[in-house]
Amino acid sequence: MGNMKEKIKYVSIDLFFKKGYFATSVSDIARGSGIQKASMYYHYPSKEELLFSILKSTMDDVTAYLKNSISGIRNVEEQMRTAVQSHVRFHLDRQKENFIANSELRGLTQDHYRIIVKKRYEYERIFQNIIQKGGEQGIFVKDDVKILSYAILTLCTSGASWFKPTGRLTVDEIAAIYEKFIINGLKQGQVWSGAT
């Protein structure tokens, strides 16, 4: 926990996750960091900038993580499998930040809000492109691409709201279930219909 600026961020992530952004006071953050609240303003110009800083780095990291994991894969189905795995893993590994990034956008100023939403949009587009390509190649269903992408993303993202690292299932197991469910859902499942 090197420097104080990082510690404040770390403590804030914890508190915002537990109590929410609005229910967390600057005094709470200061207390958790072991400083006076005035000292927080030395490191961040405002409470809102602190929130923005958390959301920004989370969005940048998740996008970099996804891009890196699917780079080089050409097969569309394999791309989607990998993308889902990447999405689930990041959201469970960095659960708190991701939960905040999906629930505390209302705490942002309009300018910051726009920046984060734009980053999110770019992230979603990666999934939408894969779904689109899969549809064109006849591998995936041809339903509305945006709806499908929202479905896939929120499905995995929601894991961040109930997942407990010490719980019954590991990240691997959860990722495997989601991957299977989503690929099944995306595929045109009627070929084998005679087997019922």
CB 50 to DNA: min, Å: 8
Per-residue string for binding with its own copies, 153-192, x by CB under 8 A?
A: -xx--xx-xx------x---xx--xx-xxxxxxxx-xxxx
Q: Rounded distance, CA 79 to CA 70, Å?
A: 6
DSSP string, 79-95: HHHHHHHHHHHHHHHTH
Contacts of residue 102, Cβ cutoff 8 Å, sequence gap at least 6: 157, 160
Query: In 38-48, which positions are buried (b, 16+ CB within 10 angstroms) versus exposed (e)?
Result: eebeebbeebe
Contact between 80 and 134 under an 8 Å Cβ cutoff? The reply is: yes
Which of its own copies, DNA, none does residue 144 bind (CB under 5 to 8 Å by kind)?
A: its own copies
CB 101 to its own copies: min, Å: 14
CB 18 to its own copies: min, Å: 9
Query: Which residues would be at the binding site for DNA (CB under 7 A)?
Result: 3-4, 24-28, 30, 34-39, 41-43, 45-48
Count the Cβ atoms, other than its own, within 10 Å of residue 35: 16
- Of 34 and 189, which has the nearer Cβ to DNA? 34
Contacts with its own copies in 17-36 (CB under 8 A)? 19-20, 22-23
DSSP string, 17-36: HHH-TTTS-HHHHHHHHTS-
89 closest CA partner among 189, 177, 171, 154: 171
Which of its own copies, DNA, none does residue 96 bind (CB under 5 to 8 Å by kind)?
A: none
**Interacting residues toward its own copies by CB under 8 A:** 19-20, 22-23, 77-78, 103, 106, 141, 143-144, 147-148, 150-151, 154-155, 158-159, 161-162, 169, 173-174, 177-178, 180-187, 189-193, 195
